[in-house]
């Protein structure tokens, strides 16, 4: 751990996988990937695969949330509108991703998922929250807010 990590975050670009350094606290919506020039924010939830998740877990020190879901899962569909709203509301502060547990079974198993949906949040390179079951409306926003305030 170097002291430089206190002032900059490493962000894995969810488009190309490149590592980007950004000052801690800078709005994600104002940052672009230095390699592919794509936005580093997710104003809408972005689908990721197991390989990108592994890279995020290994290298990313920003804040991100993963919704582990499945196409056949009713509660997952029920939570989707709230998750979309949260992606927009938290666009400057956290990235919201979705991982299809059927298409990425090894990755989902590696996360210790017992059912879908499960929400997991990471911050500063650590998993800071893990919650099974659908959350809607303000409950979901509060859960993300709490996760982002943990260090």
User: With binding defined as CB under 5 A, does residue 52 bind Zn ion?
Assistant: no
Please answer whether residues 39 and 32 qualify as being in contact, where contact means their C-beta atoms are separated by less than 8 angstroms: yes
List 8, 10, 15, 43, residue binding Zn ion (CB under 5 A):
15
CB of residue 14 to Zn ion, shortest distance in Å: 8
Residue with tokens 């801690």: 24
List 7, 16, 81, 115, residue binding Zn ion (CB under 5 A):
16
In angstroms, what CA-CA distances link 68 with 8, 58, 131? 28, 18, 10
Window contacting Zn ion (CB under 5 A); options: 35-43, 45-53, 104-112, 121-129: 35-43
Show the beta-strand stretches assigned E in the chain: 8-12, 19-23, 46-48, 64-69, 95-100, 118-123, 126-132
User: With binding defined as CB under 5 A, does residue 59 bind Zn ion?
Assistant: no
Cα separation, 145 vs 115, in Å, equals 23
User: With binding defined as CB under 5 A, does residue 28 bind Zn ion?
Assistant: no
Task: Confirm whether 73 is a catalytic residue.
Answer: yes
Cα separation, 132 vs 114, in Å, equals 8
List 6, 7, 18, 44, residue binding Zn ion (CB under 5 A):
18
List 27, 36, 51, 78, residue binding Zn ion (CB under 5 A):
36
Catalytically active residues are 73, 76
Residues that bind Zn ion (CB under 5 A): 13, 15-16, 18, 33, 35-36
């Amino acid at each position: 751990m170097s002291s430089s990590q206190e002032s900059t975050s490493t962000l894995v670009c969810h488009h190309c996988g490149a590592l980007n350094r950004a000052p801690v606290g800078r709005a994600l919506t104002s940052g672009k990937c230095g390699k592919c020039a794509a936005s580093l924010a997710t104003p809408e939830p972005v689908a990721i695969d197991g390989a990108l998740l592994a890279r995020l877990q290994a290298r990313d020190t920003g804040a991100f949330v993963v919704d582990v879901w499945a196409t056949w899962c009713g509660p997952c569909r029920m939570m989707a509108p709230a998750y979309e709203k949260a992606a927009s509301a938290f666009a400057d502060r956290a990235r919201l991703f979705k991982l299809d547990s059927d298409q990425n079974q090894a990755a989902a198993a590696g996360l210790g998922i017992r059912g879908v949906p499960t929400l997991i949040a990471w911050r500063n390179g650590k998993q800071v929250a893990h919650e099974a079951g659908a959350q809607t409306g303000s409950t979901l926003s509060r859960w993300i807010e709490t996760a982002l305030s943990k260090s």
